[in-house]
Amino acid sequence: MMNKYELKRTLLDFFFPNRCPVCNKVIGRMDYICNDCADKFQYCGKEETLCGGRLISVCRYNSGTEPIVLGAKRNRDGSKLSFMAYTLMQKITESFDTLPDVLLPVPIYRTDKAKKGYCHTEKICREISELTGIPTVTAVVKIKKTAQQKSLGREQRLTNLKGCFAVTNENTLKGKHVLVIDDVTTTGSTLTEIYHTIENCDPAAVDFAVFART
């Protein structure tokens, strides 16, 4: 008997053959990467601290992993979104003895989501939820359109983000061990701003997990 998650992947595979997120070769419906690329894929062993919590990452952001991130962010590439979710799930389950209570995706601005038709971080979180049972809470929204972080210096990055997020559902965070999820982090300023946005909701703990670390 297939579970719901397996059934979903099987149906998806029928319409969009599952592909390797790195080399684009067709792979099995329940696979996440081809064997050749799996051998070469470099995981990141480093763990850091951020805002008093833990910051864990799956891999480094480089020419090898950039196409995965961009395909997931811009083109709704299902194989890439699933690979990011699956590897994050592995990282989360191996890093935490007691799993976090909720997953909080770093939100994108409303009109950006409408234009793309989806929010990549939310999609990644929802798939981690299917794999782990940890619920995804979209308790924070982005209320201000901001300049692209990569065009700015460290100081400007923080000012650029000031007040750009707002909490919409305090109850889903209160007393919870929250794991904030993003695709990439460079200086950690987006994650820091999320932390300052939610700290007044009295979460029990806040940790951070990203797919790629610059």
Applying CB under 5 A, which residues contact Zn ion? 20, 22-23, 34, 37
Q: 83 or 208: whose CB is closer to Zn ion?
A: 83
Q: 34 or 89: whose CB is closer to Zn ion?
A: 34
DSSP for the chain, written as a single string? ---HHHHHHHHHHHHS--B-TTT--B--TT-SS-HHHHHH--B---EEEETTEEEEEEEE-STTTHHHHHHHHHS--HHHHHHHHHHHHHHHHHH-SS--SEEEEPP-BHHHHHHHTS-HHHHHHHHHHHHH-PPB---EEE-S----GGGS-HHHHHHHHTT-EEES-GGGTTT-EEEEEEEEESSSHHHHHHHHHHGGG--SEEEEEEEEE-
Q: 34 or 137: whose CB is closer to Zn ion?
A: 34
Smallest distance from Zn ion to CB 100, Å: 30
Smallest distance from Zn ion to CB 155, Å: 40
Smallest distance from Zn ion to CB 5, Å: 22
Q: 37 or 69: whose CB is closer to Zn ion?
A: 37
Smallest distance from Zn ion to CB 123, Å: 21
Q: 34 or 212: whose CB is closer to Zn ion?
A: 34
Smallest distance from Zn ion to CB 76, Å: 20
